Structure 1
Amino acid sequence: MSAHTHGAPPKPCPGPDRHPKRPAFVMPRGACDTHVHVFGPQAEFPFSEQRSYTPEDCTYDDLMQLHETLGIDRAVIVHGGAHGTDNSATLAALDLNPRRLRGVAVIPSGLPQQALEDMHLRGMRGCRMSTVVSGGASFAHLAGLADETFDFGWHLVLHFNRASELVDVAPQLMQVSSPFVLDHLARISAAEGVDSEPFQTLLRLLDTDRCWVKLASLYRLSAEPYPHRDMLPMIARVVEARPDRILWGSNWPHPICPVAMPNDGDLVDLIPHWLPDPKAQQLALVDNPASLYGFESIGQAS
C-alpha cells in the first residue's frame, strides 16, 4: 500500500539546502554516497502524472557541486519516484560520468531483455520497489525482477513505508537468490528499536549474506534533534553484526522530508558518530559500495 493516497494531487516538495556546510569529517578516498536522486530538468525530463510529489529541479550539476563540497568521489543515483518508471533522467546523468556514477532503476517486471542490457551498460546495478510513492514498482514485482535481473548481477532495493512491511516481505527475500538492500534502515524508528520484530528480522536477513543495510535519512526515524543519538543503538548492532554489509547515503535532495530540511554537511559529520572505527568507515564508505555497485579499484579510479 502506498503512503500516497491514490488519486490525490501530488504534493509540492521543498528543495534541499542549497548552501551545504563543508563538513569537519574528511571522507576517505573513493568515498561513495549510495543514495542520491536527480530530478529534471522538468523541461527535458517531465515528471510522471502518477507521481505523489513534485520536487524542484535537482540536477547532475547540482549533485557534482554538492559532492565537491562534501569531499565525495562517487555516487549511486537512485531513480526518483517523481519520474515514475521512466528512467531517462537518471540514465542521462549516468551517461555524463560513467566512472564515478552508478544507478538504481525503477522498473516493472517484464521488460524486454534488451532494455535491461541497455540500462546495465549505462551503469544501472539494481532496481527499487517502494510502498512509499506512487507510480513506481511495488513489492508485487519482487520475484519477477529478481529472476529477470539476476544474470546481470543486479540487486533489489526495498523502500518501506512502515517497518512492519519488512516482516511481511522477509519470507520472499529468503527465497530469492539476488542480493537486496534495505533502504533507510528498513524504516525502523528509534521508538521501535533493537528489540522490535522488524529489527530482529533485519538481523536474521543479514545472516543470509545477501542483505545490505543502508544508513540514509535516519533523521526521519529519530525522535530527537540532531545528532539523533537515539538511533545509535540500532546502528551499533547492525555494524557489529555485519560491517561488510553497511552502506551510507545522504538522501540528497531529501524528497518528501517530514522534518526540518537537513544540511548535507551536518549529515556527513554524523558518520564518525555512527561509525567511530576507521575500518568500519572504510568499509561503509568505500569498500562495500565498490563491491556492490561494481566501481573500479581505487588505483584505477579517476
Structure 2
Amino acid sequence: MPDRITSWHPAPSRPRFAPPAGAVDAHCHVFGPMAAFPFSAKAKYLPDDAGPEMLFALRDHLGFARNVIVQASCHGTDNAATLNAIAKSGGKARGVAVVDPAISDAELAALHDGGIRGVRFNFLKRLVDAAPRDKFLEVASRLPSSWHVVIYFEADILDEMREFIAALPVPVVVDHMGRPDVRQGPDGDDMRAFRSLLDSREDIWFKATCPDRLDARLEGGMGDPWDNFAAAVAPLVADYPDRALWGTDWPHPNMQDEIPDEGHIVDMIPRIAPTPELQHKLLVTNPMRLYWPEEV
C-alpha cells in the first residue's frame, strides 16, 4: 500500500479578507475517514483522512457559510463519503457526484435527495484510466431537473473537448478554468481559447480556483502569493461575472509539495474580484443559483 498523503496546511492563517455574509466555498472535498468510507481500489493517490468535521471547522475559520463538496477521484464512484458530509452539514452543504455511466434513474434520484446537484466528468489522464464520452452524454441526458455537469480537463485538450461540451444538454461548470497556463497572462493562448469556449454557450460556468496548482513555483510559476494567477484571472472574472465560482479546493487532492495556506487562498479573492459587487456574485449569488436555487 502506498504511503498516505497529507495535502493540507496544519494551521491555516485567518484571512485578511472577510467574505460577505452567506459566502459559499463552492469547490472542496472530503477524504474518508477511510475506516468508514474506503478509498477506491483504482485510486491514483491515498490521502490521509480529511472528514466533514475538519471541513466545517475550516469553513468557520475562514468565514464562510456553506460548502459545495465535490466527489474526489480517490473515492471513485462510491459517493458515500460525500453524502455523509452533506448529511452532517445541517443544510449548509450540497454536492457534486462521480457516477458510473450505468447508474439508474432511481439511483440518481437518491443522490438528489442526498443533496447532490451535479455530476463530475474527469478527463485528467493522470487521475482516471478512461473517459467514455458517449456514456457521459447519455448520463447527462438523464440528470434530475436543475442539475449540471462539472468537467475537469487540462488546457492542452480544450480543442478536442469542444464537440463534447457543445453536446451536453445541461449547464456546464469547468473546474479550475481548464487549467490554463497563467504564466501566459490574461491575453495568452490558453486564456483566449477558454474565453472562446465561454462565448460558445451562455450556460458555461467556471471556477476561478486553484492558484496553488496553476501558479506553483515548482512548475515555473510564482508560488504564494500567486501573482501570475491574479493577473490572468481577474480580467476573466470581470468579463464573465455572472458565471464565475470560487472554492478553496481543500484538502488539495494529491498535493505533496508547496502545500498552500488556506488563509492565503481566501486572500486571493479581492485580487480577482476587487469590488464588493463582484465578490458577492462570486461567493454568494452565483453558487446559490446553481446549488440552492430554491432559496434564490
- Using the size of structure 1 for normalisation, the TM-score is 0.89
Question: How many percent identity over aligned positions?
Answer: 35
Query: How far off is 1:201 after superposition?
Result: 3.0
Partner of 1:46: 38
**Greater shift after overlay, 117-126 or 228-237?**
228-237
Partner of 1:227: 225
Partner of 1:146: 140
Partner of 1:66: 58
* Residue identity opposite 1:294 in structure 2: W
Q: CA RMSD in A?
A: 2.0
Query: How far off is 1:98 after superposition?
Result: 4.9
**Greater shift after overlay, 43-52 or 9-18?**
9-18
Counterpart pick for 2:238 among 230, 237, 240: 240
Partner of 1:165: 157
* Residue identity opposite 1:249 in structure 2: G
After superposition, the C-alpha distances for 1:254-292 in whole angstroms (9 at most, x for unaligned) are: 111264101111111111111111111000000000001
Distance (Å, rounded) in 2 between the aligned partners of 1:215 and 1:259: 21
SS at match of 1:51: coil
Partner of 2:85: 93
Task: Sort the Cα spacing of 1:280 and 1:169 in 2 relative to 1 into closer, same or farther, 3 A.
Answer: same
SS at match of 1:21: coil
Task: Sort the Cα spacing of 1:224 and 1:134 in 2 relative to 1 into closer, same or farther, 3 A.
Answer: closer
* Residue identity opposite 1:167 in structure 2: D
* Mapped contact 1:130–1:158 kept (Cα < 8 A): yes
Query: How far off is 1:153 after superposition?
Result: 1.9
* Residue identity opposite 2:17 in structure 1: F
* Residue identity opposite 1:289 in structure 2: P
* Residue identity opposite 1:119 in structure 2: L
Task: Sort the Cα spacing of 1:204 and 1:37 in 2 relative to 1 into closer, same or farther, 3 A.
Answer: same
Gaps of 5+ in 2: 216-220
Where do residues 153-232 of structure 1 align in structure 2 (5 Å cutoff)? 153-160=146-153, 162-207=154-199, 208-222=201-215, 223-232=221-230
Q: How many residues align?
A: 288
Q: Does 1:276 align with 2:274?
A: yes
* Mapped contact 2:7–2:254 kept (Cα < 8 A): no
* Residue identity opposite 1:281 in structure 2: Q
Gaps of 5+ in 1: 1-8
Distance (Å, rounded) in 2 between the aligned partners of 1:199 and 1:48: 34
* Mapped contact 1:84–1:136 kept (Cα < 8 A): no
Query: How far off is 1:44 after superposition?
Result: 0.6
SS at match of 1:102: strand
* Residue identity opposite 1:84 in structure 2: G
**Greater shift after overlay, 130-139 or 75-84?**
130-139
* Residue identity opposite 1:99 in structure 2: G
Task: Sort the Cα spacing of 1:189 and 1:135 in 2 relative to 1 into closer, same or farther, 3 A.
Answer: closer
Query: How far off is 1:10 after superposition?
Result: 5.5
Task: Sort the Cα spacing of 1:21 and 1:136 in 2 relative to 1 into closer, same or farther, 3 A.
Answer: farther
